[in-house]
Amino acid sequence: MFEQEARRRADRRCGHRPVLRARARLLPSSFDRRLALGWTMLGLGLLLLLLASKLLAATLDVQVMDPAGAPIADAVISATPTSGKLPSKPPQSAIIDQIHRRFVPLVSVIQTGTSVTFPNKDNIEHDVYSFSPAKTFELNLYSGIAAHPVVFDKPGLVVLGCNIHDQMIAYIAVVDTPYFAKSDAAGHARLDGLAADSYDVVAWHYRIADDKSVTHQTVRVDTAATVRFALALKEAE
Ligand SMILES: [Cu+2]
């Protein structure tokens, strides 16, 4: 009796096996299809998110003029969200050349933590230094691109000089935000990719006459905003 029951069970199992196998063959393909569909949906979702973030990223246009309305070039503009929410950005790098006994560019704006290289493209040696509290350093007499990078790890203004050539000067504005730009010859600067927020916008120029200029403005930026600065400058030396 037990034997009969055992055989019956075994038969039932055997009888079921082909069906199970057939199902087993079906399962992976429908599962694969669902998986593929899942990945497609995920891809589409990510694409939409990317497009949305591009659309949501705001632009701040800045116009810098003197009190008479003439455009000011080389003004440094930086914008810091008043919410304190800053996107994390990997450390950046920048280059300041020495060409024909001048620093090029004359004015740079970089985010705190940026490493800067100082290639000497002249056929004479330079000795680059800064006494500024935001970054004190000296690159002893060198030529070519041997100069190692300098990391600017504190916000503030750094004034560069050369110990050999007194007329050599350059300015580095180190800012605690990834949102910055320099005005062009038309006095225009554009800050891209801002998250919607209120921003403390700061304008600075190396010839600024501090007492007469409005250098801070708070601006709400949702999709696009424009801000104007009138800076009084000292006479060029
Ligand atoms: Cu020099």
pLDDT at 19: 46
Average pLDDT in the 125-138 region?
A: 96
Structure token digits, residue 158: 């750094």
- List the CATH number of the domain containing 117: 2.60.40.420
Cα of 102 to ligand 1 centre, how many Å? 8
Can you tell me the distance from the alpha carbon of 202 to that of 80, in angstroms, rounded to the nearest whole number? 8
136 and 99 fall within a common domain: yes
176 located within any domain: yes
Can you tell me the distance from the alpha carbon of 149 to that of 96, in angstroms, rounded to the nearest whole number? 10
Q: What domain range includes position 46?
A: 1-56
Cα of 94 to ligand 1 centre, how many Å? 20
**Bridging pattern class, strands 76-81 and 107-111:** unpaired
pLDDT at 170: 98
Cα of 55 to ligand 1 centre, how many Å? 47
pLDDT at 211: 67
Residues 72, 233: contact at Cβ < 8 Å? yes
Cα of 138 to ligand 1 centre, how many Å? 12
Query: How many domains is the chain built from?
Result: 2
Q: Could you tell me which residues are beta bridge partners of residue 158?
A: 172
Final residue in a domain of this structure, among 19, 36, 56: 56
164 and 186 fall within a common domain: yes
pLDDT at 31: 66
- With CA atoms as reference, report the closest residue to 152 among 116, 206, 204: 116
Cα of 96 to ligand 1 centre, how many Å? 13
Cα of 78 to ligand 1 centre, how many Å? 30
3-state SS class at 110? strand
Q: What is the pTM of this model?
A: 0.76
Cα of 126 to ligand 1 centre, how many Å? 4
* Dihedral pair phi/psi, residue 232, rounded to 5°: -90, 130
86 located within any domain: yes
pLDDT at 180: 97
Cα of 173 to ligand 1 centre, how many Å? 21
